[in-house]
Structure 1
Amino acid sequence: MAGKATVRVRRVYESPARGDGARVLVDRLWPRGLSKDKAHLDEWCKGVAPSTELRKWYGHDPELFEEFNRRYRAELQDSEHADALAHLRDLAKGGTLTLVTATRHPEISQAEVLAALLRS
């Protein structure tokens, strides 16, 4: 039986770490003030990001994280999101996967929700 995937969450503004593996941006919008060269990304997986409506409603308010988590997991079941999530699962099978996001608090972001799903 295969072990659980190694999935990390980091801010895109942090320098890459040696053990990051594949680095995938999971935000719908490109990070402000960051060039593609400085991002050190392997991919940009926009299709897995929360809808604009959900992102704006949430606004990274810690008090809304639990409800955001529930709503986002529901969104991940639609076809566009599900295909993108399946792609991330495939990447995680190939080795360490680091989900990167521009948010200041990655521990309450879509990247953390995705990481929890991919690790399970």
Structure 2
Amino acid sequence: MTLKEFCLFLLAIFTSAAGQFYLKFGALRLGKVNGTNWLGHLVGVFTTPELIAGLCFYGIGALAYILLLTRVNLSVAGPSAALIYIFSVLMGYFFFHESIPLSRSVGLGLIICGVLLVIWKK
């Protein structure tokens, strides 16, 4: 991967992770949906600034990923995008005080190893 490709990759990863962060933050503001409040929640999706920001970040991430795919093989870019999962778990831990049990830590380690094996060049 060249420096430009790596920068596109980082942009796609970080903006997608930021999108997840803002979507979670906005979802917490909305509260739990149920059979009686679903319509209000549906309207709330389009009026909650955090949710709109999350969707915008996802859009930027998708555009960066598309541009990356014009330069890099899907067999490298696709599995490498799994690094978003690492950032999601870390954001959950640091910002939303979610726990990281041992099984999840092992899974994250396997994801990192898998990405390294996919992008490794001889």
The two structures have a TM-score, normalised by structure 1, of: 0.28
Decide which structure has greater helix share: 2
Which structure has more relative contact order (CA 8 Å, sep 6+)? It is: 1
Relative to the length of structure 2, the TM-score reads 0.28
